Chain A
C-alpha cells in the first residue's frame, strides 16, 4: 500500500492505495465522490473525466499514485460557491443536454476543458472534442447546443431544432 495525498476540489485529502488502484476508484471508493462514473473498461466512454492539474483526464486511465501531489477537480466541485449551477451546468439544464445523467459528469468536465482552451468553438469543434465522451441518450444534439450556449454563442444560429 502506498500513501497518496492530493487536493480534490480545493480540499487536501490523502489515503492508502494499492499500486493498481485507479484514480477513478480512489475518488469513488475512498473519497466517496461518486459523481465520477465508470462506463467502460477501455478508456473510451469518458464518464470518468476529471481535471488533473487543470487538464481533462480519464480517471480510469491513471493510477491514484500518479495523482500524488496533484490538484484534482471533479463534478462535485463545479457548482458556484453559493451552490448554484455554473455556466456549463446551467446550460446543460436549460438546453436539456442530459437524460439519464450517467455520462453527464464527464461531459461537463470535458466541456469545461474545451471552453478553457477554445472559448468560442464551432459546432464541428465541439463534436470533434467530444470524440472521447459517449452519450447513449441524447444523440449529442442538446449537449452540443448546451456547450455552444455556455460559450456565449447564439445557439439558434448554429443549431437547428
Chain B
C-alpha cells in the first residue's frame, strides 16, 4: 500500500497551487519601484578587435540614463572560475581573464560589449541598436582540432596557446594501459562526438539589482540554482561587496539544468549599475540572447579503446577527449571533463586498467559548463557505446557482455580513484529485461519488418556519482569551494517548523519532499512544516542544487539538524515528565517514558522551550532552533539499466522511439512521484540529445541553431510514454537517509541506449553501420544506411 505521508509517500506537491494559478513569483515577475531597464549590446562576430564605441547618439535617445562599457569596470574584478585543474605535467591550467564587459576584443558571438540603461526596456533596446561600435573582425577558431594546431589563431593573446590543460588520469597507469591494449586479444575502437547542447530551462535568465544608500546594502534578485554561491563569487571576486552588505535572492526559478549554477556578467552588471544609477536595474534575457549567453553543455570529441580477452573480459580502457571550454572559463567548466568525467570511466565494470586523457580547448564559442549530468553523460555515452560495439564485433550478446564484466562485490574501489559503496547491477539489468519484454523482441521485430520498418533494441547500464564531496578531497582536486550543505530547523513555540535549507528548488519539489522527511522524523503532519530556500538573508550559507545533491547532501544536513532538535526536545520532555532523557521515546508527535503511559505532546514541549517556566534552565538554553552543516564522506552512486526500442524508416531515416525503459537504483526514496518525474525529464533531455538537439556553429562562429525555430527542443509528439521503475534499492551506506539522488540519471543513461538501439535496428536490417554521431536526425541515419 502506498504511504499517505512521510518518507516514501507520493505526497502531492504544495508548490503546485501557486504555479497552477499563475501566482508563482519568478524573477521577471519582480518589478521594483523606480526601476530602470538594461539592454546588453552583444558581439555579432565570433572574434574581433574593438576599435571604438561611440555612445553619443545612444545617450541622446529618449529615456536613456547611461551607457556602460568596459572602461566603467576598470576597478572591478573579472568573472571568476571556481575550479583549477592541474595538468598531467603538474602545471596549473591556463586561466584567461573574463571581464564583465569585453575589453579590447570580443571572443564569441554574444560576448557583451556595452549596456544601455534606460527608463523602459524598449528605450534601452532602441538606444542599444543606435550604438556605433567599430570592430575589426579577426579569424575565429571554432573547431577544437583547428584550435590546437601550431600557428592557430589564439582566443586569448596573453595565453601560450588555446590549450587550457592537458589532464591525465590516472597518470601512473598510462604505460600499463598502453601495454595491455597492445597485447590484447581484441581491441574495439570508437571515435565519437558528444554534441553541444543548450540547457534551455523554459524561464530565461533575469537579474534585478537594487541598492539602498541609507544602509549601503545591495540586493540581487536572480534566476540562480545557488544564491549563496553567487553572493560569494560576485561579492568577493567581482564587486568587492562583503557578504553582510549583499543579499542574493533566487525566488521561484523556472528550471535550471546546470546553466543557472554559474555566476554571469549580467548579475554583476545589474548589482553594480544599481548603485551607479541610484535606481534598481533590471535585465531580462530574450531566448535569442539565452542561446548566445547561457553556458552551453557537452561538446566533447573522443576516441575510446576497449581491450578484451578472448572470453570478453575487459582488460583495459583508454580514452582521449577534446573538451570545448568556449571563449572563457565558466564557473565550474574545468571540472566537468575531468573529475566529473574521468572518475566515471569504470562504469559498472571491473576493468582493471583505465587511462583518461582530456585536453580542454579554448574556441571562439559561448562558454561550456555543466549541463544535466555534467561529465557523467559524456563518460557513460562513450563507455556504453564502446561496450556495445565490442559485443557486436565479438559476437557476444550485449547483455551478456555487460553481465560478464559487472562489478558484484561492494564496496568496490575502481582504478579511477572512486569507491562505490553499494549497487546491484544484475538486479537492475534483470528488471530492465522484464519491463521491456526483452524476450518478446524478435516477434515485434518481425512485425516491423512486415511493415517495411527496421526495429532495434538498445541497452545501456550507467553509473552516476552524485553529491560530489567531501570538501577536503575536492579542494585537493582544485575546487575553490566547499561542497557541504546546510539546514536550520526553527521550531516555533506552537510546534510548527520552518526549515531553512541551503539547497534550492527550481522544479524538484523540495518544499514538499523535504517537509516529508522532517514530518516523518518527528511524527507530525507535513502541513506543520515549511521549507524556506533561495534567499541568502534567510538561509544559512549553502552550496545550492546541482549534481543530484539536494536530498543526499541537503537532506542529510536537514536530518542532522532535526536530530539535534529531537535530542534537545527529549531533554525538555524528560524534565516535564520527571524522567531520565534516556528513557524518552518520540513517536507520532508525542514524547513518552518507555514502558509507561506517561507522555507529553510535541506542542507542549515546544511551548515549554519558548515559555520556559517549568524548564531545566540550569542545564539547557531556552528555544528550539538548530543548524547543521553536512559534508558527505563520499559521493553517492546511483546506477541503472536503460533500454530503448526504436523503429527506423529505411525510406527516410526517421527514428521513432517506441518505448523507453528505465530501471534505476536510487537507494531509498522519499517521494516516488517526484522521483519518477525527475527521471521522465532526464529521459526527455537525453532522448533530445540523441535524436534532436544540436547547437551548431558555422566555420565563422555564427550560431546556426540560435532560436526555437532552429534548435530542436523535444516536443510532446517526439516522445513516448516512459516506463520507469525504482524498486531495485541498495541504500547508500554513508548518509542518514540511505539516498543516492535521481536528478540526472535519465539524461545520463538514455543517449547511449537510444544510439545502441538504432545501430541494432540498422544491423538487423543488413546495414554495416557501427556508429552515427548524435543527433540521429533522419538525414544522418539515411546517409549512414546509404553509404
- A127 touching B717 in the complex, CB below 8 Å, given contacts A34-B29, A100-B506: yes
Cβ-neighbour of A140 out of B29, B288, B716, B723 (below 8 A):
B716
Contact A101 B716 (CB under 8 A): no
Closest to A78 in B: B21
Cβ-neighbour of B707 out of A40, A79, A99, A161 (below 8 A):
A40
Pick out which of these stretches binds chain B: A42-50, A51-59, A64-72.
Answer: A42-50
B28 cross-chain contacts in A, Cβ below 8 A: 34, 37-38
Smallest beta-carbon distance A41→chain B, Å: 5
Closest to B682 in A: A139
- A160 touching B723 in the complex, CB below 8 Å, given contacts A38-B28, A41-B707, A136-B255: yes
Closest to B284 in A: A38
Contact A20 B122 (CB under 8 A): yes
| Whole-angstrom CA separation of A105 from B22 in the bound complex | 6
- A161 touching B724 in the complex, CB below 8 Å, given contacts A96-B677, A102-B203, A102-B255: yes
Of the four ranges (under 10, 10 to 19, 20 to 34, 35 or more), the interface on chain B belongs to 35 or more
Per-position binary interface string of chain A over residues 22-36, scored 1 when its CB falls under 8 Å from any chain B CB and 0 otherwise = 000000110001111
- A137 touching B26 in the complex, CB below 8 Å, given contacts A44-B708, A96-B13: no
A42 cross-chain contacts in B, Cβ below 8 A: 287-288, 707-709
Contact B20 A89 (CB under 8 A): yes
| Whole-angstrom CA separation of A86 from B708 in the bound complex | 31
Asked whether any CB of chain B lies closer than 8 Å to the CB of A112, the reply is no
Smallest beta-carbon distance B237→chain A, Å: 29
A28 cross-chain contacts in B, Cβ below 8 A: 29
Per-position binary interface string of chain B over residues 210-221, scored 1 when its CB falls under 8 Å from any chain A CB and 0 otherwise = 000000000000
| Whole-angstrom CA separation of A160 from B720 in the bound complex | 10
Contact B716 A126 (CB under 8 A): yes
Contact A139 B22 (CB under 8 A): no
Of the four ranges (under 10, 10 to 19, 20 to 34, 35 or more), the interface on chain A belongs to 35 or more
Contact B708 A123 (CB under 8 A): no
Cβ-neighbour of A100 out of B17, B201, B708 (below 8 A):
B201
- A39 touching B204 in the complex, CB below 8 Å, given contacts A93-B13, A100-B255, A140-B716: yes
Cβ-neighbour of B680 out of A40, A108, A139 (below 8 A):
A139
B18 cross-chain contacts in A, Cβ below 8 A: 101
Cβ-neighbour of B254 out of A36, A40, A79, A101 (below 8 A):
A101
Contact A99 B715 (CB under 8 A): no
Asked whether any CB of chain A lies closer than 8 Å to the CB of B23, the reply is yes
Contact B721 A99 (CB under 8 A): no
B722 cross-chain contacts in A, Cβ below 8 A: 139, 141, 160
Q: What is the interface of chain B, defined by CB distance below 8 A to chain A? A: 12-13, 15-26, 28-29, 31, 122, 200-204, 252-255, 257, 284, 286-288, 506-509, 673-674, 676-677, 680-685, 707-709, 713-717, 719, 721-725, 746
11 contacts between A and B (CB under 8 A): A35-B22, A35-B23, A38-B204, A40-B708, A96-B677, A98-B20, A101-B254, A103-B254, A123-B721, A130-B716, A130-B717
**Nearest 7 A/B pairs, CB to CB:** A35-B22, A101-B19, A102-B254, A139-B684, A100-B507, A44-B708, A99-B507
